[in-house]
Structure 1
Amino acid sequence: MRAEVETGSRLHGGFYYAAGDWNVRWGSIGFYVDNPKFRAAVELSDREQYRGPQELLEYVKKAAKVAGVQGFNVEVHESPPIHRGFGTGTQVLLSLYMAFKALKGEQPEAVEEAALKLGRSRHSGAGTLAFKYGGFVMDAGLPGRPTPLVTLKMPSEWRFVIIIPKIERGLTDEEEESIMEKRQWGNSESNIAFMTSGALRLAAGIARGDLDDALEGLRFVQRGTGILFASVQGGEYRGKLNDLAAEAWRSRVILAQSSWGPAMYTIVENEYEAQGDVMLMKEIMSNVGLSGEVIISPPRNYGASIKIVG
């Protein structure tokens, strides 16, 4: 028997709530996009066999260990880059864990419980909930079991234009953990209000199919999140991404930073507009001395798939 797994990628929208006086510390939002994908074929084996990017092997081994699998044969067909803002670690871990459990003939836990067993969703539940529901997600706050506050299907004609600049990768899991756990985060009431009102406007814009409102809401969430993390990342965005966001705004393009980046993205009305924005995004990168890749993705309004074949 073989399992075929496919996931989308999570683009992080930021935090709508962080480190105030609620009974949660973090409340996050995210989008599930169809590209880039993670696709792999998975089999049980009497030894460890792996073909794919070396940087993913630790996640394959962890998923196998937690699932109680002694050996495996995993072939990765395609994958998003790791630590680039796509939530790849969570997608790989959850999809392979679910595949291993299915191949063993065992009923897996709910996705939310599996994520905790795998050490995910410590600070953001967006990747876990996107894996399960797709579309647009808001968690109900962490720590604890990731629980959906809002799940919405996105207008299918909308497109994400995603920039992947050639700069240093985002934080590893260990680096992020060190920052998020060891710092004593504080947040002003005014900034929390800014973030939460932005998230409400974003969700309402998606529900009504109003892209202008959705983007304005995303801009508010991003600004509030950036203010919170400015002392860590050197501004509202990380490093050179500050220049990229500022240059894009001169063309009235709202760019959002996904997690620690370097992936940045905007949302446009349709495929035609997205094709036109690719050249603009490349020009914007060039204007600030950066190069990189620009990709287009539709929203993925459904979660990951694990299919048993053979």
Structure 2
Amino acid sequence: MKVRVETGSRLHLGFLDLGGGVGRRYGSLGISLNRPGVLLEAEAASAWFYQGPEAFRERVEEAAGAVSLLAGRAEGLPPIRLCLRKAIPPHVGLGSGTQVSLAAGTAVAELLGVRTEPRRLAALLRRGRRSGIGVEAFAGGGFLLDGGIRENGGTPPLLLRRILPASWRFLVVLPETAPGISGAAEEQALATLPPVDPAVTGELCRLVLLGLLPSLVEEDGVAFGRALTQIQHLVGSCFLAAQGGIYSSPLSEHLVTLLLEMGALGAGQSSWGPAVFGFFDDPLMAEQVRKRLLGSRELAGGAIFAAGGAREGACIHCRRDAEEEERSCGSPE
């Protein structure tokens, strides 16, 4: 049998409460994107074999090992060939680590006939300990809001999943700058941030509850973009000490301003960057801005692409005896 798992990426729009003033800390919002994505294949082999970007080898092997625990295999896994054919650029703010880990774990589980689901697998892999956005993007796509974690830890509960209008687009720009922080550096940065004024947390929650969410339900792109920009600016202000500014670099800040000047209804930075994005409710307008930015000096050496909201989660295909069974399907393209 051969298993193929495809999934998209995500924009992480920030945390609502870094201090946990009401007993829950963080609280995240984000958007599942239909590109870029992950394509991973797994099949039985005569020896263990990994093919793909070396940057993801450890994550893939860790995910496979976690499945052996679920399967109760004290002797470890049988020989498997794992091929990572397509991956999200690492450390740019699009959630590559969680998507690759969950894709690999899911593929191996399917291959071995082990029943699992993304949240259980994520807990084994220690993914989603602060934010549930990446895990929930894999599980079902959409616009996502989680309720943060309790003081004693645990998994953030999903509060809302809402599919974005089909015409909405996010123009994602990956500038040629230093990668976003991750791992131990991220832990250190979060641990040393100064306390956030409760008034900022209150304003963030107000903008989400009374600005972003109503405009999403009403499919009002102008209001959604306005609230999104305000939220991004406030979130960035909470990370001034770690980033040195509202955004991860002066170039990222300049690109956000440029996207807004060119007609984006909203703009901001995903996670620690350097990825920034502009929001459009018109695909043609998004494409026009993309073409204008392609030849600009600000994008020299970088990349730019338009993505829609992923309407479902990961897509899992199992092929047995030349017949393909689709167990669950998302929308990676």
Task: Determine which of 107, 124, 129 is the counterpart of 1:99.
Answer: 107
1:197-236 residue pairs with structure 2 within 5 A? 197-200=206-209, 201-236=211-246
Structure 1 residue 154: Cα displacement: 0.4
Task: Determine which of 87, 96, 101 is the counterpart of 1:88.
Answer: 96
Distance change >3 Å, CA 24–CA 43, structure 1 → 2 = same
For 1:21, the equivalent position in structure 2 comes to: 21
Instruction: Answer whether contact 2:268 2:276 (CA < 8 A) is retained.
Output: yes
Structure 1 residue 177: Cα displacement: 2.2
1:173-184 residue pairs with structure 2 within 5 A? 173-180=183-190, 182-183=191-192
For 2:137, the equivalent position in structure 1 comes to: 130
In 2, the alpha carbon distance for the partners of 1:305 and 1:141 equals 27
In 2, the alpha carbon distance for the partners of 1:272 and 1:249 equals 16
Distance change >3 Å, CA 274–CA 289, structure 1 → 2 = closer
In 1, the alpha carbon distance for the partners of 2:273 and 2:293 equals 16
Distance change >3 Å, CA 140–CA 5, structure 1 → 2 = same
Gaps of 5+ in 2: 69-76, 321-333
Instruction: Answer whether contact 1:15 1:221 (CA < 8 A) is retained.
Output: no
1:237-252 residue pairs with structure 2 within 5 A? 237-240=247-250, 241-251=252-262
Q: Could you state the TM-score of these two structures normalised by the residue count of structure 2?
A: 0.86
CA RMSD of aligned residues (A): 1.8
Structure 1 residue 5: Cα displacement: 0.4
Question: How high is the sequence identity, in percent, across the aligned residues?
Answer: 28
Which runs of 4 or more aligned residues in structure 1 lie more than 6 Å from their structure 2 counterparts after TM superposition? none
Pair member with larger Rg: 2
Distance change >3 Å, CA 46–CA 221, structure 1 → 2 = farther
Code of the aligned partner of 1:3? V
Structure 1 residue 220: Cα displacement: 2.1
1:35-72: per-residue Cα shift (whole Å, max 9, x none)? 10111111244532111111111111110111113542
Code of the aligned partner of 1:42? A
Code of the aligned partner of 2:41? A
Instruction: Answer whether contact 2:200 2:234 (CA < 8 A) is retained.
Output: yes
Is 1:188 matched up with 2:197?
yes
Code of the aligned partner of 1:103? L
Gaps of 5+ in 1: none
Does the residue aligned with 1:255 lie in a helix, a strand or coil? strand
Instruction: Answer whether contact 2:143 2:161 (CA < 8 A) is retained.
Output: yes
In 1, the alpha carbon distance for the partners of 2:202 and 2:166 equals 30
Q: Could you state the TM-score of these two structures normalised by the residue count of structure 1?
A: 0.92
Code of the aligned partner of 2:160? V
Instruction: Answer whether contact 1:18 1:187 (CA < 8 A) is retained.
Output: yes
In 2, the alpha carbon distance for the partners of 1:80 and 1:258 equals 14
